[in-house]
Structure 1
Amino acid sequence: MSIGVWFGVVLGVLSCACYTAAAVAQRRLAVAVPGPLTGRRPLAALLGHPLWWGSAVLNGGRAAFQVGALAFAPLTVVQPLGVLVLVFGLPWSARLAGRRVAPREWRGALLTVLALAVLLAVAVTDGRSRPMGPGVSAAVAGGTAALLAALAWAAGRVPSAAWRSHLLAAAAGIAFGVSSATAKTAIAAAGTDGAAALFHPAAAGTALVAAAGLLLAQAAYQGAELGAPLGVTTLANPLAASVVGVAFMGETYSGGLPGAGVAVLCGLLAAYGIALLATPFRPGRTRTYHPTPPLSGARGR
């Protein structure tokens, strides 16, 4: 590989590190503000906590490194690096929680990483793309916002805490994937239109969808361990970006019919891995961890 590609790989690994740190910060925040984010008081407590703003900065760094990585290395090299967040995140989160990673979680992480790596290898596009026009960008952002709202509505009505976390994590992954596509369009618009690109629908759409993704990811960690929601988000993110690339940016799916069959099998294997990662959260598991006491907005619930 050329020096430029290796530089892209380094930026991709840094993006994964930022993403992992952001996820761990959001998981710790879920312990400090444990209630569901469905009312003003818990939401105000969330937005007033330093960990929230720290995770927002880290997610911004993740996005910046990801864009830089794609500028130097092809999608086929950068996208598979996303599976590293599971490898980084599980031991990091467990260490902060004062426990060891369970063998079941390691097995789930290994299966999910292998499935995602193969899935991305067969499902990537050819790398050629064009930016979306203003009308298409607005439609993609608006349609994504509607889909995220529908998933959040469904998540609030399922009786299972695990499925609620999965739905919210899937919505967060979709938001991150689509925002990557709209960000790529906004950057292309900036290269041709300069400061006028700030008024391009892709710029506003990126901000809207990315902010929704942060809130959805945070809600997915409420009452769940790190592994399962992080695995679902890691799966949904590149798939959503690929769908937008193929449908609206002129990219071509390179897997063909055999690749589609492999993708289905990998999806099933990843789902089983995520099921192994779905260790129910029990407060007693974190007794050696001493988070910031619940804020006033999180009391009395």
Structure 2
Amino acid sequence: MAKADIAAVLALAAAFFIAVGDVIHQRSAHEVTDEPVGHLELFGRLLRDGRWWLGSGVAAIGFALQAAALGLGSVLLVQALLVTSLLFALPISARLAGRRVTRWQWLWAALLAAAVAVIVTVGDPTAGASRASLHTWLWVAAVLGPVLALCLLGAQMASPPASAVLRAVVSGGLWGLFAVLTKAVVDRLDVTSWAGIVTLLSTPELYVWAAVAIAGTAMQQASFRSGALTASLPTMTVVEPVVASALGVAVLGETLRPGETGVFALVAAVAVMVVATAALARGEAATREPA
């Protein structure tokens, strides 16, 4: 089996475990307290919640599988397939809430899956480098940092549903950055010798990677707390691969090879993915409005 095929299988497995972890995290974020709390206090309370740690353990399996997939395939390939986590999360969330997934939701889910399949097959993503220069990362910080900061500022003034979406944008952006940093960390990972461990510990991306993971988790929980899973998770699910893919191209030099005849199909697939995700979010939010 080719490396890209193994990466695809690992990415789909990662999508499942991440979806289960997200559903557990969302329910924990809503039920850990009835009091209005800030980001740090919410995160502190979740750290003392056993169910949240269960979700974290399940999600950690997903992240490990994602890291393995990134070690074998491109960011473009792996992140496109991780969008399917939404297809796992929605029925699981509906089951736990005692609801049914409607025919329209299944239709949009099928369109989303088909769009992802087209992106992966027609786009034919190719791997690039595993790491980037400090100069390149400074440009990333200069562009991405202000965008995420503005989203956070807007979330403070917005209504709960809009706040959930804006915080989900921040979380998705951070997890997209995390995916690209993961590829760099995996490239330097060698725990079979002391020299390999020293090399890993001297890798700057390792520490940024850890900080981004903590910040992404905190923002994810804040987004889950702000509204329904379907106001936040679909947004995260789309923003993460968009940011990761953009960074994969701009930072790591990855490319898509749709060919002259495949460009239209690729653009259409991306459009369908965005529309289907938005439709799923809107339809699910209508069924989960608080009484």
Of all paired residues, the percent bearing the same amino acid is 27
SS state of the match for residue 154, structure 1? helix
Is 1:236 the counterpart of 2:239? The answer is yes
Aligned to 1:95: 95
Partner of 2:220: 217
SS in 1 for 2:157: coil
Task: Kindly state the Cα deviation for residue 69 of structure 1 after the two structures are TM-superposed.
Answer: 2.0
Could you report, residue by residue, the CA deviation over 1:76-111 in whole angstroms, capped at 9, with x for unpaired residues? 654443232122111111111122123343344334
Between the aligned partners of 1:205 and 1:20, the Cα distance in structure 2 is 24
Q: Which residue of 2 aligns with 1:226?
A: 229
- Quote how far apart the aligned CAs of 1:283 are: 3.9
TM norm structure 2: 0.80
Give 1:282's aligned amino acid: E
- Please name the residue that 1:106 is paired with: 106
Supply the distance in 2 between the matched residues of 1:142 and 1:50 (Cα, whole angstroms).
38
Q: Tell me the matched-pair count.
A: 282
Cα displacement string for residues 223-255 of structure 1 (whole angstroms, at most 9, x for unaligned residues): 533334222222122221121122222323445
Alpha-carbon distance, 1:195 to partner: 1.5
Question: Which residue is 1:20 aligned to?
Answer: 19
Q: Structure 1: which amino acid aligns with 2:170?
A: A
**Displacement of 1:205:** 1.1
Distance 1:217 1:45 in 2: 14
C-alpha spacing 1:10/1:266, structure 2 compared with 1 (3 Å): closer
Q: Distance in 2 between matches of 1:259 and 1:209?
A: 35
The answer on 1:60 being equivalent to 2:47 is: no
Shift, 1:200, TM fit: 2.6
Shift in Å, 1:25: 0.7
Give the alignment's Cα RMSD to 1 decimal.
3.2
CA separation in 1, counterparts of 2:112 and 2:35? 29
Q: Is the 8 A contact 1:27 1:221 kept in 2?
A: yes
**Residues 227/124 of structure 1: CA separation in 2 closer, same or farther (3 Å cut):** farther
Would you say the 8 A contact 1:83–1:116 is kept in 2? Answer: yes
> In structure 2, what is the Cα distance between the partners aligned to 1:71 and 1:39?
33
Q: Deviations over 1:90-133 (max 9, x none)?
A: 11111111221233433443343334443455666421224123
Residue 36 of structure 1: how far off its partner (Å): 5.7
Name the aligned partner's letter for residue 230 of structure 2: G
Alpha-carbon distance change, 164 to 138 in structure 1, aligned in 2, over 3 angstroms: same
SS at match of 1:156: helix
Conserved? CA contact 1:79–1:238, under 8 Å = yes
Separation (CA, whole Å) in 2 of partners of 1:164 and 1:22: 22
Matched, 1:276 2:275: no
Distance 1:141 1:53, change over 3 A: farther
Structure 2 segments unaligned to the other structure (5+ residues): none
Contact 1:170 1:232 in 2 (8 A): yes
CA distance in 2, matches of 1:261, 1:199: 44
Query: AA paired with 2:240?
Result: N
Shift of 1:149: 3.1
* Stretch of structure 1 that moved more, 269-278 or 89-98: 269-278
**2:74·2:128 contact (CA, 8 Å) conserved in 1?**
no
Counterpart position of 1:178:
177
**With structure 1 as the length reference, what TM-score do the two structures score?**
0.77
- What is the distance in 1 between the residues matched to 2:75 and 2:254? 11
Amino acid at match of 1:68: A
Contact 1:31-1:222 within 8 A present in 2 as well: yes
- Once residues 83 and 144 of structure 1 are traced to their aligned partners in structure 2, the CA distance between those partners, rounded to angstroms, is 21
Matches within 5 A, 1:108-187: 108-119=108-119, 121=121, 125-134=125-134, 136-137=136-137, 140=140, 144-159=144-159, 161-187=160-186
Deviation readout 1:117-159 (Å, 9 max, x if unpaired): 4345566642122412345446646764554333222222223
Distance (Å, rounded) in 2 between the aligned partners of 1:140 and 1:43: 27
**Partner-residue secondary structure (3-state), 1:222:** helix
